[in-house]
Structure formats: structure tokens, C-alpha cells
């Protein structure tokens, strides 16, 4: 099940079980840094990490299939909070671990200085396309976090994202790193894939991790990308996309849609740039 470009490199890493990983680096409140890295550069990165990184291993597997369903109001309040860089933002999704058939309903809160707080509720996989069974949890979380004076009346599924994820633990810094490959977005009307790019995300309490420093040394800097907002912006040409415009212009030219390469995306970026 491991994506072929990194399977041999993952095999060289020391394994860690899920319970120990959660115990040592749950990091429900954290600082996230995301990078877009060509898939063919991942083996070099993993080889550099081999002496000290540990990889999540469950029954011999080290890459796992994820599906996230993102929910928003009919007016896309969550999306627009991100697009206009509101200081306090929220994201509601279900996350399903397809290999184990486990599911969670999650509310992510973005706060000051890039901090992220995640609230989770165990969920039935068959309910992952709706928030109705968990509305009380969502409303209580948003109210407690002072995100909305009143909870949104309607939350609808807006985007589905699927990918393979590998998770690393860096014991010395108690930080985690996730590597997502095979990223695919679908909004019910169109599909977009990033077959040649990986999203590498570091999750730390605050200070940069060894992976951050390795990437910086190689000239790779954090990228503005959100699996919800950037994916929806790339699929919906009518939406504001200022925070992710540079990311999409630089990295999405090779993206593939359900009908092949996406010249409409490139046209959209050029058109928006001319209006600024």
C-alpha cells in the first residue's frame, strides 16, 4: 500500500505504534507548517531523517488512505474566513481512516500566531457525509471557542479530499511530520489531482523541527495551502483566492483534472492577477 516512490525509504525507518505516537506527540494544540515537495525528492528527505525519525507502523503498513469531507455554510463562511485571513477561523470536517474504517468528526480552530486547536468526536463511518449526528458537538465547540455568536444554521458537504498519509515522530523534539501523497479533490462537479506533489506538514509546539530546518536548508519554504480552501479555490473559479494564488500559480500548473490538464485553472490565476 505504500506509494512506490517512498516505500523503500520508509522501510529503513524505525517503527512506532499508534498508541505510543499519540502518547508522545498528540499535539492537539500546535503550530503547523506546510510545504509542497516534489514526490521524487521525498526519498532524499527520508534518508536524511532515517537516523532519528520513527514511522507510524500498523500491522506492517506505513502509508494509509485518508478521506476528509469538509463542511461549510451555503455562503461558505468557513472558506471566506480563510480567504480574507480572519484572525479566528474554523473548519469542520469528518476524517475517515479508510484502511481501519475509523472515523472522527473534527472542528479545527485557527488562532493567534498560527496556532491550531483540534477538537474530535468519534463518528460512524456511514455518517461521514453529514454533520447532523454531531451538530451538538460542533455547535458547542464553536460557541466555547467564541468563533460564532450563533452556530451556523446549515452545514453542508462542500469538498472531499483523499490521499495517502505517512506519519513520522521526531522523538528529540516531540514533533510530528505528515507526508501526504496522491492528493485528490472532488467537489461534486469536478476533480483535481496533484500526482507529482506531496504536502509535507510539520506539527510542533512552537519551535521549528529538524524537518523544517532540513527543508529550509534546501531552499524550500512554507507554502500557503489548505486541503479545504486551496482545493476549493482551484476547483471554483468564482471564489476569492488571494492567500493561495502564489501557491497555485507556482505548483498547480501540472495538476490534472478529470478531463486532463487544467488550463482553466491557469487562466483563472492570470485573470485574477490582472484585477489586483
As a whole number of angstroms, the distance between CA 15 and CA 75 comes to 44
Q: What confidence tier does 215 reach under pLDDT thresholds 50, 70, 90?
A: very high
Grid cell, residue 263, equals 488550463
Gap between the terminal Cα atoms of the chain: 45
Helix/strand/coil for 207: coil
The whole-number average pLDDT for the span 54-82 is 95
> Tens digit of pLDDT for each residue in 227-247?
999 999 999 989 999 989 888
Domain 4-223 adopts which CATH fold? Answer: Hypothetical Protein Pfu-838710-001 (2.40.320)
Q: Which residue has the cell 486547536?
A: 117
> Tens digit of pLDDT for each residue in 102-120?
999 999 988 666 577 889 9
Asked if 72 and 239 touch (Cβ cutoff 8 Å), the reply is no
- Please give the radius of gyration of the chain, using alpha carbons only, rounded to the nearest integer: 18
As a whole number of angstroms, the distance between CA 229 and CA 198 comes to 17
Cα-based distances in Å from 118 to 171, 174, 180, 190, 252 = 22, 18, 19, 29, 28
pLDDT at 6: 86
Sequence spans of domains, the chain: 4-223
Amino acid at each position: 500500500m505504500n506509494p512506490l516512490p517512498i516505500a523503500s525509504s520508509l522501510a529503513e525507518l524505525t517503527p512506532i505504534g499508534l498508541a505510543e505516537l499519540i502518547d508522545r506527540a498528540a499535539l492537539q494544540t500546535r503550530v503547523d507548517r506546510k510545504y509542497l515537495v516534489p514526490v521524487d525528492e521525498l526519498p532524499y528527505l527520508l534518508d536524511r531523517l532515517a537516523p532519528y525519525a520513527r514511522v507510524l507502523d500498523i500491522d506492517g503498513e506505513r502509508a494509509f488512505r485518508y478521506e476528509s469531507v469538509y463542511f461549510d455554510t451555503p455562503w461558505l463562511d468557513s472558506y471566506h474566513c480563510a480567504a480574507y485571513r480572519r484572525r479566528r477561523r474554523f473548519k469542520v470536517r469528518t476524517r475517515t481512516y479508510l484502511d481501519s474504517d475509523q472515523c472522527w468528526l473534527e472542528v479545527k480552530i485557527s488562532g493567534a500566531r498560527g496556532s491550531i486547536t483540534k477538537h474530535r468526536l468519534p463518528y460512524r463511518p456511514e455518517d461521514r457525509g453529514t454533520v447532523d449526528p454531531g451538530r451538538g458537538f460542533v455547535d458547542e465547540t464553536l460557541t466555547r471557542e467564541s468563533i460564532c455568536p450563533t452556530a451556523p444554521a446549515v452545514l453542508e458537504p462542500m469538498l472531499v479530499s483523499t490521499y495517502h498519509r505517512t506519519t513520522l515522530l521526531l522523538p528529540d523534539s516531540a514533533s510530528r511530520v505528515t507526508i501526504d501523497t496522491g492528493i485528490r479533490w472532488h467537489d461534486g462537479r469536478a476533480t483535481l489531482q496533484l500526482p507529482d506533489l506531496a504536502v509535507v506538514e510539520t506539527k510542533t509546539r512552537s519551535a521549528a523541527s529538524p524537518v523544517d530546518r532540513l527543508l529550509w536548508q534546501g531552499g524550500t519554504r512554507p507554502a500557503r495551502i489548505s486541503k479545504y480552501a486551496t482545493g476549493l479555490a482551484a476547483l471554483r473559479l468564482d471564489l476569492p483566492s488571494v492567500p493561495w494564488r502564489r501557491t497555485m500559480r507556482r505548483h498547480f500548473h501540472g495538476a490534472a483534472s478529470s478531463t486532463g490538464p487544467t488550463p482553466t485553472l491557469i487562466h483563472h490565476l492570470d485573470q485574477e492577477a490582472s484585477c489586483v
